[in-house]
Amino acid sequence: MTQDNRSGRPQGRPPEGEARLSRVEASLRGPFLLFFVSAVVWLLAASLLAVVASLGLGSLLAPFPDCAWLTYGRVVAVERNLFVYGWGFNAFFAVNLWLLSQLGRFEFRNGWLAALGGVVWNLGLAYGVVRIFAGELNGFALLEMPREVGPVLAVAFLLAAFWPLVAFARRPTGHTFASQWFVVGASFAFPLVYLLAQLMVLWVPASGVVQAVAHSWFVSNVLLLWLGASALAATYYFLAKVLERTIAAYYLAPVAFWTFFLFAGWTGPAALVGSPVPVWVQSAGVVAAAMLLVPVIITALNFHGTLSTQGGWARAWNDTTLRFVSFGAVAFTLFGLLQGLVAFRGPSALLRFTSFGGGIEHLLTYAFATMVLFGAAYFILPRLTGSLWPSAKLVHAHFWGSALGILGCLTAWLFGGWQVGRQLAADATPYAAVLRAESSWFSLLTVSSVLLLVGHAAFALNAFGMILKSSAPTDAGRHD
């Protein structure tokens, strides 16, 4: 696959490998495997804690009723931090570096710096998690860890995530691709957002409602401008790479990029509708969430249009990488539509005190970002290790455990939240009936959490088995 000779502009397809490709991949092997192994370990820990949390949600099944370290609030806080900062960040450190090195033909010569960043990041995260378990946590989502952890993670991020920017700056041609835009944007956005949030929320807390606005802004930026943007970059790359075709309506991709980064970071105040925050701030969040539909629709045209031609969906079902990536592409479209709907004041008033918001976040962080990461791993790992996946059965167990677990969690959170919201809005409904309706979904949530744990364990066994028997990187790798 090569650039189209009829035009000097890139056509939405990543360039094919050449003789130098093996050296590029060999230079990435050490840092990539460090980030990847760390990510999978944290994912397994987060999955286990998710099962514990779902059991604790139904008080009759609470597994550790007398253990203060494993109370529901601490377990949920640790599980979310491990999933986002442990799994999501480590995995995207690896995938983003691989993507931009491949697209920019960048030979990585200072692997020890990225490795140092990864070690510092994971040690800081481990310290913060222990402190949360000990009860020393803040009341702000994704900022629960003690404030001294913030500067450590910021420095570690710069060491670990700086190299994709170097790869972009040293690209041999002026051509750029959508994957590069989104990775570069994400790499610039997170450190600024994280440091400002640490300052305004923890170190020099803002007064009044400004602190709540700053926190909502931080959460939306982390989830959308880091996890979301990085996953979009991978989706653009792997759809074109594996299908060996140009992204449909690729000329709209620049519009998707700019509108995504323009509006995504300001959707946070939409979660504050009805709170004692100035109405214009709430309205700005609602407008941003509605305008986010523009990049969502464009990416839907790009992704689904690419998959809908020349038997793309059939190929996606029969290719491991595409199966996960296409699942994520559908989830992102659904996330954008629901996010835009719930941001308006009517639906927000109905659903704000329910689990519906958690279901929308799960669509973004797991159904989209995590599934795309799994697809990327199935493509990249065989190339870096020179080995094939040890067990096809574990691959199928991983996909079905993850897919069914996601569907179960989304059903419990979205439909359960909608049911509870309607009952809360009805004045005649006793609160005891609302509690019974909410608790009726706990069993499905527990089963779904177990399915996700099984899928993740299958993935970990397969991946670690491949890494342990790995050989030198090769020019060509299989991903199915």
Average pLDDT, the chain: 87
Has residue 154 been placed in a domain? yes
Q: How many domains does the chain have?
A: 2
- Please choose, from the candidates 424, 415, 289, 413, the residue with its C-alpha nearest in 3D space to the C-alpha of residue 350: 424
- DSSP-assigned letter for residue 441: T
Has residue 296 been placed in a domain? no
Question: How far apart (Å, rounded) are the C-alpha atoms in residues 288 and 339?
Answer: 10
Residue 474 three-state SS: coil
- Please choose, from the candidates 318, 347, 312, the residue with its C-alpha nearest in 3D space to the C-alpha of residue 330: 312
pLDDT band at 62 (very low <50, low <70, confident <90, very high): low
Residues 48-68: b if buried by 16+ CB within 10 A, e if exposed: bbbbbbbbbbeeeebeeeeee
Q: Which of 155, 175, 195 is the last residue of a domain?
A: 175
Those residues whose C-beta lies under 8 Å from the C-beta of residue 105, and which sit 6 or more positions away, are 20, 24, 171, 172
Q: What is the pLDDT of residue 8?
A: 38
- Please choose, from the candidates 391, 474, 402, 340, the residue with its C-alpha nearest in 3D space to the C-alpha of residue 43: 402
Has residue 420 been placed in a domain? yes
More confident residue, 21 or 427: 427
Mean pLDDT of 358-381: 96
pLDDT band at 361 (very low <50, low <70, confident <90, very high): very high
Q: Is the pLDDT of residue 1 over 90?
A: no
Has residue 11 been placed in a domain? no
Question: How far apart (Å, rounded) are the C-alpha atoms in residues 477 and 307?
Answer: 23
Has residue 33 been placed in a domain? yes
Structure pTM?
0.91
Q: Which of 126, 141, 175 is the last residue of a domain?
A: 175
Domain span at residue 391 reads 386-472
Has residue 97 been placed in a domain? yes
**pLDDT tens profile 422-468:** 888 877 777 677 777 777 788 899 999 999 999 999 999 999 999 98
Q: Which of 128, 153, 175 is the last residue of a domain?
A: 175
Locate tokens 């009829």: which residue? Answer: 6
Q: Is the pLDDT of residue 474 over 70?
A: no
Has residue 259 been placed in a domain? no
Q: What are the φ/ψ torsions at residue 8 (nearest 5 degrees)? A: -80, -5
Has residue 216 been placed in a domain? no
**pLDDT tens profile 264-297:** 989 999 888 888 889 999 999 999 999 999 999 9
